């Protein structure tokens, strides 16, 4: 850019001077806006992917959970044997998922395998239904972990009491002398603990 400047000298004479003014503006400001409320969520599950893409979760003590990605369904199975604790675990999980808005409440029902329970995953245009289901199952596992740890510790305590009893609840081999009758099992008596009717038959 060229600019003419009129300069008055000390002796009163004027001089017109051309000056070149260069302006170079190079902004180098970088702005990155992040949402401070969004944080990475990390969780661990003992899971395996089936051949058809279903995710099988084995963390729980009483039940196995299958997340069926193609059918958009969650199914819970008894891990070893069907007990009251199995039904309780299935009921707690689906109640948790219902409150989180993951499953359709009216779809909770017994599965086609004895002792199983299933429910349909809700559709969503905003979130990935399968990822949301997996995250909330992991959250439910965190709630169940203290109970499972307590049960595991209780089982270990019973095993230790049986396999390694203290001196009060155990006797050395040969400490109890031999006798014809032991305890409450009477061999030669008309009445005994184990009766057929009222009398013992030999």
The domain limits of the chain are 47-162
Sign of CA dihedral 104, 107, 110, 113: negative
> Span 47-162: which CATH code?
3.30.1360
Tell me what percent of the residues of the chain surpass a pLDDT of 90: 24
Q: What is the mean pLDDT of the chain?
A: 78
The band of 7, judged by pLDDT with boundaries at 50, 70 and 90, is very low
Q: What is the pLDDT of residues 62-95, one digit of tens each?
A: 899 999 999 999 999 998 777 788 888 999 999 9
Q: What is the mean pLDDT of residues 53-60?
A: 90
192 and 183 Cβ atoms separated by less than 8 Å: no
28 and 43 Cβ atoms separated by less than 8 Å: no
pTM of the entire predicted model: 0.61
| C-alpha angle 20-26-28 in degrees, rounded to nearest 5 | 160
Q: What is the mean pLDDT of residues 2-9?
A: 49
């Amino acid at each position: 850019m060229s600019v003419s400047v009129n300069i008055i000298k000390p002796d009163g004479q004027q001089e017109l001077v051309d000056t070149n003014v260069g302006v170079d503006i190079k902004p180098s400001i970088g702005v990155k806006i992040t949402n401070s409320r969004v944080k990475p969520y990390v969780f661990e599950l003992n899971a395996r992917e089936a051949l058809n893409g279903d995710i099988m979760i084995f963390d729980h003590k009483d039940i196995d959970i299958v997340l069926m990605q193609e059918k958009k369904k969650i199914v819970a199975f008894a891990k070893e044997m069907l007990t009251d604790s199995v039904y309780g675990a299935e009921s707690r999980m689906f109640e948790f998922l219902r409150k989180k808005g993951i499953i359709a409440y009216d779809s909770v029902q017994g599965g086609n395998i004895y002792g199983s329970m299933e429910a349909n995953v809700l559709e969503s245009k905003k979130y990935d239904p399968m990822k949301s289901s997996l995250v909330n199952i992991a959250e439910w596992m965190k709630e169940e972990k203290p109970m499972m740890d307590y049960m595991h510790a209780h089982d270990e305590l019973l095993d230790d009491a049986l396999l390694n009893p203290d001196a009060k609840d155990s006797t050395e081999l040969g400490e109890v002398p031999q006798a014809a009758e032991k305890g409450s099992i009477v061999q030669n008596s008309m009445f005994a603990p184990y009766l057929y009717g009222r009398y013992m038959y030999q």
